[in-house]
Amino acid sequence: MSYAWHETELRVRYAETDQMGIAHHSNYIVWFEVARSDHCRRVGVPYTEMEANDVQLIVAEASVRYKRPAFFDDLLLIRVRPAEIRRRSLRFEYEVVRKADLELLAVGETLHVVTDKSRRVRSLPPEYIKLFEA
Amino acid sequence: MSYAWHETELRVRYAETDQMGIAHHSNYIVWFEVARSDHCRRVGVPYTEMEANDVQLIVAEASVRYKRPAFFDDLLLIRVRPAEIRRRSLRFEYEVVRKADLELLAVGETLHVVTDKSRRVRSLPPEYIKLFEA
Amino acid sequence: MSYAWHETELRVRYAETDQMGIAHHSNYIVWFEVARSDHCRRVGVPYTEMEANDVQLIVAEASVRYKRPAFFDDLLLIRVRPAEIRRRSLRFEYEVVRKADLELLAVGETLHVVTDKSRRVRSLPPEYIKLFEA
Amino acid sequence: MSYAWHETELRVRYAETDQMGIAHHSNYIVWFEVARSDHCRRVGVPYTEMEANDVQLIVAEASVRYKRPAFFDDLLLIRVRPAEIRRRSLRFEYEVVRKADLELLAVGETLHVVTDKSRRVRSLPPEYIKLFEA
């Protein structure tokens, strides 16, 4: 079974381009995070609330496979879904798609460890797990 | 009377370029901050110590005048000096110079208000003022 | 007479925050550009078309006055309008407003010189001037 | 057999921190690039020369494993070495180490495809291969 994709739309900023004329590859990591935050907010677990409840999702791993470039002013769909929901870790996967032609530009993954503010591993509150699984 | 310039050297990163083939103009604000942090550390008032002492220098104004572009891999000298040292505010001025030909690429200014961690205005500890004035 | 404001909505990204817990001040320059690009696209002079017609709007000056902080996940309205439209230069002004409470967080300004791709000053095509003035 | 590590030193910028109080994870991708550019320059294949010779190293994959956080003002050593040198692709690996205590903060990898400026796959000039292998 796999979870449903959630989608965030964003437009490539001029500041995100590089002298190759394409969006610099480091931005994908930021876009993944934008989509992930949106996802958390929509399922009912906004980051700000998590942090207020002494829950942090620390990034332990991140990877991207770049297939085609994104250009300035392109409207992109950043898709995210949980790939693995455990008590002490969450894995998300991502797709970056150009809205105009639905070309798949990149795929990626992040792994997060659940900690408190002092970065000690802790468990996700069960109600958060339910919300992520819903 | 004016204060002495302090200089930080840095190299333009590929990620800092844009599709015009030059360093994106937003980076100068970041470079000013790099030079300012270096300056504070060298005069004996590192940011980390300031923040530990409940002193924050909040940015109230920033401005840049761009004269010539900086390119990828250029070695730059970022010069900073206090322009005005008051109990509750500090003004710094900046120059960005290309090391290879000493061309002046940009000048700028930032104004900082002294606050505590809850962003209430407070005074700079007198020993900090002395260090900045030295 | 002054021109009408144009508005772009964006949400503060986690990557845009700093350890003070607020959006880092360098992002405002990027947000101004996002609003400016949107504005140009909507009046019918998209950057991509300008660049294809050998017109560049080089940033000559940028300034920001920060009034209140923006926080992670805040929805912001970035307002832009031309302040001065000349054949060889354009001045834009900006406001950053938090959507939830309409607090004014920052104001700013950028000055642009019109050049060709080799950075030689040139004139804005008259049809562009009309579109900006409309 | 494995290649020798090459090391670049850099200091964590305030703008690179996030509200968790650590360097945001997207910066590691940028730091890898800084180290890689330095490496290429030192072995005698600077990016600027590559681009002038119609050679681009397009990023096809990037991954990072984060072990411990980096903090503002930390001096970091970014280590890079080729992991695989082929005619049409290059793989680099990285380590991020805090200079003060030599703690290993992160490891990573990037895969690059060799293309010309129109992003068509091409071969690395043999003299470049020799320089990378040296």
| In chain C, domain spans | 6-133
Structure tokens at C108: 């700013």
What is the arithmetic mean of pLDDT over B63-85? 98
Structure tokens at A25: 């590859």
H-state helical runs in chain A: 27-43, 47-52, 126-133
Distance (Å) from the alpha carbon of B31 to chain C's nearest alpha carbon: 10
Give this prediction's pTM.
0.97
pLDDT tens digit sequence for C12-50: 999 999 999 999 999 999 999 999 999 999 999 998 899
Phi, psi dihedral angles at B127 (to 5 degrees): -70, -30
3-state secondary structure (DSSP) of residue A134: coil
Q: Which residue of B lies nearest to D9 if distances are taken between CA atoms? A: B10
Q: Which residue of B lies nearest to D30 if distances are taken between CA atoms? A: B15
Any bridge partners for residue D57, and if so which?
A: D114
Report how many Cβ contacts below 8 Å link chain B to chain D.
36
Q: Which amino acid is at A46?
A: P
The confidence band for D134, taking pLDDT boundaries of 50, 70 and 90, is confident
pLDDT at A34 over 80: yes
The confidence band for A134, taking pLDDT boundaries of 50, 70 and 90, is confident
Distance (Å) from the alpha carbon of B129 to chain A's nearest alpha carbon: 34
| Partners of residue D20 in chain A, C-beta under 8 Å | 56, 58
Structure tokens at B66: 């761009």
| Partners of residue C18 in chain D, C-beta under 8 Å | 14-15, 17-19
pLDDT at D34 over 90: yes
The confidence band for D24, taking pLDDT boundaries of 50, 70 and 90, is very high
Cross-chain residue pair B30–C26, CB shorter than 8 Å: yes
Residues of A with CB under 8 A from a CB of D: 20, 25-27, 29-30, 33, 56, 58-66, 69, 119
Beta carbons of C105 and C68 less than 8 angstroms apart: yes
What is the arithmetic mean of pLDDT over C48-75? 96
What is the arithmetic mean of pLDDT over A9-30? 98
Sheet of strand C89-98: strand arrangement: B6-11, B75-85, B89-98, B104-115, B56-66, C56-66, C104-115, C89-98, C75-85, C6-11
| Partners of residue C72 in chain D, C-beta under 8 Å | 19
Query: What's residue C134's pLDDT?
Result: 85
| Partners of residue B13 in chain D, C-beta under 8 Å | 30, 33-34, 37
Q: Which CATH architecture has domain D6-133?
A: Roll (3.10)
**How many of the other CB atoms lie within 10 Å of CB of D43?**
16
CB burial of residue B106 (10 Å; 0-12, 13-18, 19+): buried
Looking at the partner chain, which of B15, B18, B21 has a beta carbon nearest the beta carbon of A14?
B18
Partner chains of B (3+ C-beta pairs under 8 Å): A, C, D
> Which is it for strands B104-115 and B89-98: parallel, antiparallel or unpaired?
antiparallel
Beta carbons of C34 and C42 less than 8 angstroms apart: no
C-alpha to C-alpha distances, B1 to A44, B4, B82, B93, B96, nearest whole angstrom: 58, 10, 11, 14, 22
Cross-chain residue pair D15–C26, CB shorter than 8 Å: yes
| Partners of residue D30 in chain C, C-beta under 8 Å | none
Cross-chain residue pair C63–B64, CB shorter than 8 Å: yes
pLDDT at B16 over 70: yes
H/E run at residue C22 = none
Any bridge partners for residue B114, and if so which?
A: B57
The fraction of chain B above a pLDDT of 70, given in percent, is: 99
